[in-house]
Amino acid sequence: MTAIETPPEPRIRLNGMPVDAYPAIAPDALRGRLRPIVVAGDPVLREPCAPVAAEQFGTPELEQLVCDLFLTMYAADGVGLAANQVGVGLQLFTFDVADDGFREVGHICNPVIEIGPPDAEGQASQRVTDSEGCLSVPGIYKDVARFDHAIVRGLDWQGNPVAVEGFDYIARCFIHETDHLKGHLYVDYLTGRHRRDALRGMHEFIEPLTAAREARAQEILAAAGASGSSAWRRRRNVPPDRLQSTD
């Protein structure tokens, strides 16, 4: 009988900086409050978000919003969540996304994204079509073409510079979330029939998924209180196969 190989732990970067280890659930989430996720049709998702103002950096209110976004994102099994998805029109999103041996965790305010730059070897980025979903279009997944490389720069909640680079699924997440902050949804890239099907089909998922998020948030907080979130570590080390956070 051959030994079963254990997949290597992902290399982890926190706000773009390498770290040796990081909890499965970002500690910020354990100080968060679950917020309702707004769905397509709410005007807040269509209005470009305002930049985080200089006087807002470093405030308890902005820190709390980051914590709330993390908890809400994890409760929804998402890999990214923008502030306007919880009804707050600020340029801010959280992320915890893994692909190809890398896990990127963090948050970013006032992001400026460079989409499709050549990689370190000068290879041009490509558009890749893959399944994508959105927490604000619950339960629906459609194929969307996105560039496979992106660099996003901005600030953390304290005003410190942040720069994060992503490829493939991670790049897709960053592009998806920055789209949210501009008032765009992934369904905007679908043709008429597919777009209509997505917007109609989401309604049957809203109630059950909302209930599931509430239960999962309680589970996260209870597990963290009982065992320092160790019960969640194994679950979050597996890269998700579909983009659910995006909005």
Catalytic residues: 177
Are 247 and 137 contacting, i.e. CB atoms less than 8 angstroms apart?
A: yes
Are 95 and 173 contacting, i.e. CB atoms less than 8 angstroms apart?
A: yes
Residue 187, SS3? Answer: helix
Indicate left, alpha or beta for 232 from its phi (over 0: left) and psi (-120 to 50: alpha).
alpha
Residue 196, SS3? Answer: helix
Q: Are strands 102-115 and 11-14 parallel, antiparallel or unpaired?
A: parallel
Pair of tokens at residue 109: 């305010």
